[in-house]
Amino acid sequence: MGSINPAEFSKAQDMQQLYRLLEAVGIGPGWNKPEPSLWPAPKKNFQPAHWSYGIGRAALESAGKFVSTELAERRNLILSNPVPGNTYGTARTIVSAYQMVMPHEAARSHRHTPNALRLVVEAAPKTYTVVDGKKIPMLPGDVLLTPNWSWHGHNNESDQCAYWIDFLDAPLVQLLEPMFLEGFPGSFVEKTDVVDQNSPFRFAFEDTRSRLEALPDTQPGKRDLLLGPQSLDTLDLHVWRIEAGASLADKRSTANSVFAVIEGEGTSVINEQEFHWSRGDVFVVPGWNTHAYKADSRSYLLRVTDEPVMKRFNWLRQEA
Ligand SMILES: [Fe+2]
């Protein structure tokens, strides 16, 4: 920032001279901005979008030939929102990615301030995420949490490739800037023989399915389970069950949501754009977009949402 004698301002003869003086000292006239700073309703910058697991899986198979986990911290494919200029987030606050770990391969242990979770799409027994010194089994449909600063790595001790979908609040952490990342000291993956079948960080799909069985419908043909009690500070995880043939609309909300298909097939209409989805697909409902669903077969959807952040700051608004 430049410096001038304050008396220079009293000499300004017109607005243009004032602007030149302001520019010289690095101060902007709030009344003369190309874009207003505040606006009456959310702009909906991020776009509704859909990614197919068939494509993600084929691309990961190809990456498996060229990219080792020695080379890459993670062999993953980032599902970046197609909004111009964006190269990372799936939504404003959430990024999702397809990841693959090959048989008898590991992905190194590390910890970071972004909160993370993963939904397993394909994995055989003896595929593990190692969280804080314990092996947590990964089976299809399972959701695993690795909260802020917990050590985590992956060990595929099976004979099949393991595929999953990662979700992180990293775009939010990038925005606010409390980013830290650290590699596990001494070994590639934290060494342990302890297998924790009942880890609070694991939501086994068989349990999720039976918990949903016991719940009432929240609207005709839809059940909604909030995964817990273990949770992440910034992201809530819901599993929706939608009956075959059911057609429903959800509230428009300021919260951002990224969905992944655990099981089933159907269609979503997000702000008038239609997306057909099936198992392993991902789609995004950015904040303040309308969204409606129709299931062709009984479907289970994981909804990852920044609602806890919106609630905490009193920014959560919903409209039917
Ligand atoms: Fe990580």
Burial of 125 (0-12, 13-18, 19+ CB in 10 A): exposed
pLDDT, greater one: 292 or 191: 292
DSSP H or E stretch at residue 65: helix 53-66
Q: 124-139 pLDDT, tens per residue?
A: 999 999 998 999 999 9
C-alpha 291 – ligand 1 centre gap (Å):
30
- The CATH code for residues 206-319 is 2.60.120.10
Predicted confidence at residue 189, as pLDDT, reads 87
pLDDT band at 320 (very low <50, low <70, confident <90, very high): confident
Q: Across residues 264-283, what is the average pLDDT?
A: 98
C-alpha 136 – ligand 1 centre gap (Å):
15
Predicted confidence at residue 94, as pLDDT, reads 98
Q: What is the pTM of this model?
A: 0.95
Q: 12-64 pLDDT, tens per residue?
A: 999 999 999 999 999 999 999 888 999 999 998 999 999 999 999 999 999 99
Predicted confidence at residue 274, as pLDDT, reads 98
pLDDT band at 279 (very low <50, low <70, confident <90, very high): very high
Q: How far apart are CA 43 and CA 83, in angstroms?
A: 12
Are the C-beta atoms of 154 and 164 separated by less than 8 Å? no
pLDDT band at 244 (very low <50, low <70, confident <90, very high): very high
Predicted confidence at residue 1, as pLDDT, reads 65
Cis peptide before 286 (omega within 30 of 0): no
Q: How far apart are CA 301 and CA 69, in angstroms?
A: 29
- Give residues with Cβ within 8 angstroms of 123, minimum separation 6: 138, 139, 140, 156, 158, 160, 162, 163, 164
CB atoms within 10 A of CB 153: 23
* Sign of the torsion angle spanned by Cα atoms 139, 140, 145, 150: positive
Q: Do 49-203 and 206-319 fold alike per CATH?
A: yes
Whole-number mean pLDDT of the chain?
96
CB atoms within 10 A of CB 4: 10
Q: Across residues 275-293, what is the average pLDDT?
A: 98
Which CATH code, of 2.60.120.10, 3.40.50.2020, 3.40.190.10, 1.10.260.40, is assigned to 49-203?
2.60.120.10
Q: 92-116 pLDDT, tens per residue?
A: 999 999 999 999 999 999 999 999 9
C-alpha 115 – ligand 1 centre gap (Å):
8
C-alpha 138 – ligand 1 centre gap (Å):
16
Q: Across residues 246-274, what is the average pLDDT?
A: 97
C-alpha 238 – ligand 1 centre gap (Å):
21
C-alpha 63 – ligand 1 centre gap (Å):
19
Domain ranges of the chain: 49-203, 206-319
